[in-house]
Amino acid sequence: MFGMTYLIYKVIAVAIAALFIFALLDISRRPAHAFEGVTFSKRIWLMIAIFGTVIFGLEVLNIYLNMGRLLELALIFAAIYYVGPIRDRLGPIDRGGW
């Protein structure tokens, strides 16, 4: 029914969507003041993560927006950059406590 290329493309799309969902959840759990020492504010990182989640979530569902591959590549780079060095600079999540 579907070729191997289609299957590989879907697995990659699901992995990228999962990366964006992870980044979105991580960003939303951190306080805004934690982003003061990094490149962008919490609001900008949230917009990037939401936009990427929508774009790649729709691709998983076979709904393709003609956004251009360069924009998708930039979104993937931004998600990897957040999960890598930015997340390390932010440190552990401050959960508050007693």
pLDDT at 22: 95
* pLDDT of 98 over the 80 cut: no
Q: For residue 94, is it left (φ>0), alpha (ψ between -120 and 50) or beta?
A: beta
Model confidence, pTM = 0.84
> Using one digit for the tens of pLDDT, what is the confidence trace for 21-66?
999 999 999 988 888 888 899 999 999 999 999 999 988 888 877 7
The larger pLDDT score, comparing residue 45 to residue 92, is at 45
The larger pLDDT score, comparing residue 38 to residue 81, is at 81
Q: Mark 57-69 as b/e (b = at least 16 C-beta within 10 Å).
A: bebeeeeeeeeee
